[in-house]
Structure 1
């Protein structure tokens, strides 16, 4: 008969999961940058972004082992803020890399906003939006990286075919590996 404490240790050893250490990221962004992907919404200010990126999912090797992330962005000018989840891929093994990502976010922008000069609707068309992004980064130390990134939020005319102003943000974020 196996003593109970050895049996417990054996079960605990079989169930042990390796520690997962992700990274925290924080950044500052210019809100509503004029790009070909957006229309003017009348918003301004800066955005403070905070997020957490989990380790890559090894089981999704067929699509490049993406890292899940959670993100929150607060607009300092009273414009649209958002929070959501997504997947990102770190491409490159050297000190410089590219990090594309795609997610879904929920925002607090107005449900109806009309430009008084053009009569055009400038609300985002849906409470849930797509959040594609791309960053170019450099590894400063083993635990610290800096990225210049573009983040876009819009509904891609899927939820409202009549309009899709979208909002682009461009900024810098710092990543801290835990």
Structure 2
């Protein structure tokens, strides 16, 4: 059911380019083991990410929304938030949003899936990129999902690391 919701949402993103400033897509290694997460090794595969970023609304802040589907049938998620781009040809793009996922929202350790402890998670991200032309850029990015132990003591989190290709509309 969650995959269907994500696919419908992604189709909606594709149908609304007039509202967007950028369309982006990427491939990410799912559940990378880093010091910020304890979920590395429990889930696998590659995440296919597709989303939209709006034009700046306040200062440099751009609203964004994206969905990520996992190739291995593990946790899929959708996120929305605000990001900002700092720099011209070479840039840094931090972002902060909220995500909803179809993984385990359980509060106890599992050996087969990450037990996130909550259905809704914070989604901080950081990208470093470069413009490839007037309307195309490429960025390496990190996406983290966690609830910062606000909803339960169970909070392994997850880190996904990959690359995005962005097309300015």
What TM-score, normalized to structure 2?
0.83
Cα RMSD after superposing both structures: 1.9
Which structure 2 residue ranges, 5 or more long, are not aligned? Answer: 1-17
Does residue 175 (structure 1) correspond to residue 169 (structure 2)? The answer is no
Partners of 1:50 and 1:39 in 2: CA distance: 26
Q: TM-score, normalization: structure 1?
A: 0.79
Q: Determine which of 67, 72, 82 is the counterpart of 1:87.
A: 82
User: Matched residues in 2 for 1:147 and 1:134: separation?
Assistant: 10
1:36 maps to which residue? 35
Q: Tell me the secondary structure at the aligned position of residue 43 of structure 1.
A: coil
Question: Alpha-carbon deviation of 1:163?
Answer: 1.8
Number of the residue aligned with 1:166: 157
Aligned residue in 2 for 1:110: 104
Flag structure 1 segments of 5+ consecutive residues without an equivalent: 1-18
After superposing on structure 2, the runs of 4+ consecutive aligned residues of structure 1 that deviate more than 6 Å are none
CA distance in 2, matches of 1:116, 1:141: 45
- Deviation string 1:24-50 (CA, Å, 9 cap, x unpaired) is 000000000010111136111110000
CA contact (8 A) 2:43 2:114 kept: no
Structure ID, larger Rg: 1
2:138 corresponds in structure 1 to 146
